[in-house]
């Protein structure tokens, strides 16, 4: 039996619309539907894992962070990267993603 596709798999498949700001063969970066900062993006690997610590390969983990930091630098210059892992960590969508947050006027409010 195959599991139902995750929300992000449905976005990757264009089954659910999203504002896409970057895409390559392995990653998609979309605007968060409920932004917690003036700019709030989500970096999503197309290959499914439920949470970031399910990724075991160093190359795969490295490429995810490289993609996030490059897109963040290109889109924002200065930025914050956040990962929520597990319900207790605030994770709501169980398909690995990195949050890119930025765009605060005068810098991040808490420094
Ligand atoms: P998490 O809490 O799992 O780390 O983050 C999930 C993020 O996905 C949240 O910031 C939430 O606003 C965002 N989100 C939830 N549903 C949708 C959706 O349908 N479209 C987009 N673009 N973002 C979503």
pLDDT digits (tens, 9 = 90+) for 50-92: 999 999 999 999 999 999 999 999 999 999 999 999 999 999 9
40, 97, 99, 108: the active-site residue: 97
Distance 33 CA to ligand 1 centre (A): 6
Q: Is 99 a catalytic residue?
A: no
Mutate which of 23, 29, 31, 32 for ligand 1? The one with the most ligand atoms within 8 Å of its CB, which is: 32
- At 23-60, the pLDDT tens digits run 999 999 999 999 999 999 999 999 999 999 999 999 99
pLDDT of residue 110: 74
> Distance, CA 38 to ligand 1 centroid (Å)?
15
Q: What is the pLDDT of residue 111?
A: 61
CATH 3.40.50.720 given to domain 7-102: no
| SS3 sequence of the chain | CCCCCCHHHHHHCCCCCCCEEEECCCEEEEECCCCCCCEEEEEEECCCCCCHHHCCCHHHHHHHHHHHHHHHHHHHCCCEEECCCCHHHCCCCCCCCEEEEECCCCCCCCC
């Amino acid at each position: 039996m195959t599991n139902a596709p995750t929300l992000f798999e449905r976005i990757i498949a264009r089954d659910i619309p999203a504002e896409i700001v970057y895409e390559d063969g392995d990653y998609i970066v979309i605007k968060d539907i409920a932004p917690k900062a003036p700019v709030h993006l989500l970096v999503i690997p197309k290959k499914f894992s439920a949470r970031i610590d399910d990724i075991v390969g160093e190359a795969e983990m490295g490429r995810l962070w490289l993609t996030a930091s490059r897109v963040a630098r290109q889109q924002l210059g200065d930025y914050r990267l956040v990962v929520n892992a597990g319900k207790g960590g605030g994770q709501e969508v169980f398909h690995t993603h990195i949050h890119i947050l930025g765009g605060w006027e005068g810098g991040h409010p808490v420094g």
